[in-house]
């Protein structure tokens, strides 16, 4: 609200300054008009001397008349023409002077109005008007400050509540950590992944197969889709099952590896099936915590397209201490 009133005050001051400049301009114009009227007056005084000069010339002509009457007549005609031109010029000057006089009177009247307006709108009056508008704004400011103070108190209450919630969360976190420190018998791990959209690919011997892109189940995030390796979260008995099929009938064999403490072993083999035969590997093995299970081709394979029913599954059956 205060922000809206300040521009009105500044606009009013700008109007006063504009009026003052306009008054100065009118005074300058009046001075110029006065100088012009004075100049025209001097011209009229100069023209007022012409009749006397004409009379002298007429007397001279009369003396010439005795010498040459025809020549005198020519001079008389010229003098009459000159007198007519002089009278016309005098009439034009009188009209211009009258116009300038009326313009001067109009400027004087307008100047008087501006002076009266400025006298009515003095700085004290402006200050009084501004004060009348500023006081309500100051009252609103005080109310706003009280509102902000109330909001600050409410914020402190909310802050205390958040601190209480934070303490409760900390207690829950401690309790959760204690639960996680319990026996590994509580660990659950299971993964089952399939192939959604397989394209023809070339696999080198010993390369880990990592094209299982549909993780139907991956409890505990034990299977890494980027590396294609399952890592046992705890020691126990695991059910492992693998099935690989080829849509473009490429016959080849894959190896299911078991790596424990840096030593690699073989859990079994599986060959790709055709549309008339199915090959599935199923095994129950003991895996230690951190052991890895993965699949590699037995030899180089070119342009094989694995089918959508191909899958890799590994489930914790029984944790062991």
What CATH fold (topology level) applies to the domain 185-319? Jelly Rolls (2.60.120)
Residue 32 above 80 pLDDT?
yes
- CA gap 160, 119 in Å, rounded: 62
Q: How far apart are CA 191 and CA 214, in angstroms?
A: 11
121 or 231, which is more confident? 231
pLDDT of 170 reads: 64
User: Percentage of the chain with pLDDT > 70?
Assistant: 75
> Six-digit token pair at 219?
């409890």
pLDDT at 294: 97
CB 208 within 8 A of CB 228: yes
pLDDT on residue 1: 46
- Rounded CA Rg of the chain: 58
Report the C-alpha gap between 189 and 239 in whole angstroms.
11
User: Is 70 exceeded by the pLDDT of residue 215?
Assistant: yes
Distance of CA 8 to the CA centre of its chain: 29
Q: How many whole angstroms from its chain centre is CA 305?
A: 51
Question: Where does the pLDDT of residue 35 fall: very low under 50, low under 70, confident under 90, or very high at 90 and above?
Answer: confident
Q: What is the separation of C-alpha 78 from the centre of its chain, rounded to a whole number of angstroms? A: 86
Task: Provide, rounded to the nearest whole percent, the portion of the chain with pLDDT above 90.
Answer: 22
Average pLDDT estimate for 116-120: 70
Residues forming a β-bridge with 311: 194, 243
pLDDT: which is higher, 176 or 207: 207
Run of H or E residues at 13: helix 2-48
Q: Which residue has the tokens 């899958």?
A: 311
pLDDT exceeds cutoff 50 at 58: yes
Q: Over range 34-41, report the average pLDDT.
A: 77
Residue 59: C-alpha distances to residues 70, 75, 165, 266 (Å): 16, 12, 127, 154
Greater pLDDT, 288 or 140? 288
Mean pLDDT of 245-254: 87
State mean pLDDT over 190-203: 86
183 band by pLDDT with thresholds 50, 70 and 90: very low
Over residues 200-204, the mean pLDDT reads 90
The model's pTM: 0.43
Mean pLDDT of the chain: 78
Q: Write the pLDDT tens digit of every residue in 250-278.
A: 888 999 999 999 899 999 998 886 555 55
Euclidean distance between CA atoms 293 and 232, whole angstroms: 8
How many angstroms separate the CA atoms of 72 and 68, rounded? 6
- Per-residue pLDDT, averaged over 191-204, amounts to 87
Domain boundaries, the chain: 2-121, 185-319
Higher pLDDT, 17 or 305: 305
Upper half-sphere CA count for residue 128 (Cβ side, 13 Å) = 6
């Amino acid at each position: 609200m205060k922000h809206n009133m300040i521009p009105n005050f500044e606009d009013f001051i700008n109007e006063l300054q504009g009026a003052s400049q306009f008054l100065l301009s009118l005074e300058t114009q009046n001075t110029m008009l006065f100088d012009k009227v004075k100049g025209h007056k001097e011209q009229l005084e100069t023209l007022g001397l012409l009749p006397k000069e004409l009379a002298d010339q007429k007397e001279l002509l009369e003396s010439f008349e005795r010498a040459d009457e025809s020549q005198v007549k020519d001079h008389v005609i010229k003098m009459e023409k000159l007198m007519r031109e002089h009278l016309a010029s005098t009439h034009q000057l009188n009209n211009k002077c009258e116009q300038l006089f009326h313009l001067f009177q109009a400027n004087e009247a307008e100047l008087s109005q501006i002076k009266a307006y400025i006298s009515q709108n003095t700085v004290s009056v402006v200050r009084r008007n501004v004060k009348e508008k500023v006081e309500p704004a100051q009252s609103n400011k005080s109310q706003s400050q009280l509102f902000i103070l109330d909001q600050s108190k409410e914020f402190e209450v909310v802050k205390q509540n958040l601190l209480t919630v934070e303490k409760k969360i900390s207690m829950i976190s401690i309790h959760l950590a204690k639960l996680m420190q319990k026996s590994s018998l509580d660990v659950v791990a299971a993964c089952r992944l399939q192939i959604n959209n397989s394209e023809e690919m070339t696999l080198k011997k010993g390369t880990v197969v990592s094209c299982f892109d549909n993780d139907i189940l991956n409890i505990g995030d034990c299977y890494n889709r980027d590396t294609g390796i399952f890592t046992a979260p705890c020691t126990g008995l695991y059910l492992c099952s693998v099935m690989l099929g080829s849509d473009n009938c490429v016959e080849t064999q894959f190896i299911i590896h078991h790596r424990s403490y840096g030593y690699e072993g073989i859990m079994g083999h599986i060959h790709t099936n055709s549309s008339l035969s199915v090959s599935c590997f199923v095994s129950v093995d003991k895996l230690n915590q951190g052991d890895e299970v993965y699949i590699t081709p037995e030899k180089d394979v070119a342009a094989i397209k694995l089918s959508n029913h191909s899958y890799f599954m590994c489930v914790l059956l029984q944790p062991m201490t």
